[in-house]
Amino acid sequence: MVTAHHVDHGLRPESADDACRAADIAHQCGAAVVMHRVQVGPGPNMEARARAARRAVLPPGAMTGHTADDQAETVLLRLLRGAGTDGIGSMRPGPIHPILDLRRHETEQICTDAGVAWVDDPSNTDPTITRNAVRHQVLPLLADIAGRDPVPLLTRTAAIARDDAALLDDLVAQHVPDPTDTRALATAPPAIAARALRRWLSVDGYPPDAAAIDRVFEVVHHRVTACEIPGGRRVARRGGFLHIITPDDRAN
């Protein structure tokens, strides 16, 4: 039996009503339903913090309803953050994202045909949220400039980036099997060495920024013995190998 999961972030007064409507839709479709409630406090980067809270309560392998339009928006957002091939590759099609090839309007039509009344989140029109600005301003402007729908182009770019990223991963495994080995890092092509470091230093799938990687390269090439990276961590060189020193290590 299919089980639907709804996460109430508690960010809007009407979120409890939305949860009830989500449960009604699940029952209408013959699915069981599990309700979750999380707390996301005020502050910057609300979307990322809400996403992290949501992922923390959803079971492994939970499928999402992201569409091709979501994919295109994510590509642009990651480009704005200076992402490389991994970031531009965005969400990977597969069991976790089963409708990633569908357009948003197609999912709405499916709901209409099935007699399912979907819920529009009012926050999706909030222009202060960067994703909404991309959705309602940037993508329409790009369509006007290009004279064509940019969504298929952006999703194709994501697919190409994913293939390139897979090849780069193979090259990393060949050239830098141990990302802490400073000799291997120093002699590998710079792009491969940087990729090895980003993968090694990632936290929850998020690599450190380019400036941090540049500082680590200073350690690799024996210009300094250690450097600071985000998260209060420190990368130091000992005996030709890199080591991560955490705040807990320093406390001890």
d(CA 167, CA 135): 31
Residue 251 confidence (pLDDT): 64
What's the average model confidence in pLDDT over 14-29?
A: 87
d(CA 57, CA 94): 21
Residue 9 confidence (pLDDT): 86
d(CA 154, CA 140): 13
One-letter amino acid for residue 223 of the chain: R
What does pLDDT average to over the chain? 92
State the helix-helix crossing angle for 190-201 and 150-175, rounded to 10 degrees.
Answer: 90
In angstroms and rounded to an integer, the radius of gyration of the C-alpha atoms of the chain is: 22
Q: What is the pLDDT of residues 180-197, one digit of tens each?
A: 999 999 999 999 999 999
Domains in the chain, start-ordered, CATH in brackets? Answer: 1-62 (no CATH), 64-175 (3.40.50.620), 176-251 (1.20.59)
- Could you tell me which residue, 197 or 53, shows the higher pLDDT? 197
Measure Cα distances from 175 to 119, 178, 188 in Å.
50, 9, 6
Q: For 23-27, 158-162, 192-196, 217-221, which range has the lowest pLDDT when averaged over its residues?
A: 23-27
Q: What is the pLDDT of residues 108-135, one digit of tens each?
A: 999 999 998 888 888 888 888 899 999 9
**Model's pTM, two decimal places?**
0.86
Q: Tell me the CB-side half-sphere exposure of residue 230, using CA atoms within 13 A.
A: 13
State the helix-helix crossing angle for 150-175 and 68-80, rounded to 10 degrees.
Answer: 60
Residue 69 confidence (pLDDT): 97
Asked if residue 50 has pLDDT above 80, the reply is: yes
Q: For 13-17, 87-91, 136-140, 150-154, which range has the lowest pLDDT when averaged over its residues?
A: 13-17
At residue 252 the predicted structure's pLDDT band, cuts being 50, 70 and 90, is low
Q: Tell me the CB-side half-sphere exposure of residue 110, using CA atoms within 13 A.
A: 9
Structure tokens at 145: 């400039």
Whether the Cβ atoms of residue 228 and residue 234 lie closer than 8 Å to each other:
yes
Residue 73 confidence (pLDDT): 97
- Could you tell me which residue, 248 or 120, shows the higher pLDDT? 120
Q: For 35-39, 141-145, 155-159, 193-197, which range has the lowest pLDDT when averaged over its residues?
A: 35-39
